[in-house]
Amino acid sequence: MKKKIDIVIDVNIFMDFLFKREGHEKVVKIFEYCSKDEIKGFVCAHEITTLYYFLNKTIKDKRKIKISISGIIKSFNVIELNEDLLEKALTSAIDDFEDAVIDVSAETKNAAYILTRNTRDFRKSVVKAITPEELLAIVSI
């Protein structure tokens, strides 16, 4: 890889990883790039609480949940929410507020991409949304 790529990771990618959903192997490879600092991975603060909620509904083991959440916090750069970011998301062309917050966060960090399974949700985003397969094709060049 020539230049480090900054990405903002959508919550569904973390869900794929944590729940070992179909295609999670590609996410593992991307997270390995992040751990080697070859890709700079960002996660929005609100996604952390969403992940905790889904883990708690599924696993119900607080110790395991805290270990998982702590690992994400330590492994990725957390984008803080603030009034300006939220106000900008409210005026976004993206209808879904949570997705708009991710897009505005990605724009704020000058990220090259939003990594998601649902690129359709980001059709109107300022920052291009790509799938794990697309990102792996880019970094393998």
Per-residue confidence (pLDDT) for residue 60, from 0 to 100 = 81
Q: Using a cut of 0.85, tell me whether the model's pTM lies above it.
A: yes
Contact by Cβ (8 Å): 82, 48: no
C-alpha span between 71 and 64 (Å, rounded) = 11
H helix or E strand, kind and range, residue 68: helix 62-75
Structural domains of the chain in order of their starting residue, each with its CATH number = 5-139 (3.40.50.1010)
Per-residue confidence (pLDDT) for residue 1, from 0 to 100 = 46
Per-residue confidence (pLDDT) for residue 4, from 0 to 100 = 84
Task: Name the 3-class secondary structure at 53.
Answer: helix
Per-residue confidence (pLDDT) for residue 141, from 0 to 100 = 57
Per-residue confidence (pLDDT) for residue 23, from 0 to 100 = 87
Per-residue confidence (pLDDT) for residue 3, from 0 to 100 = 67
pLDDT along the chain (141 residues), means of 10: 83 93 93 92 96 91 94 95 96 96 97 97 97 93 57
C-alpha span between 65 and 111 (Å, rounded) = 28
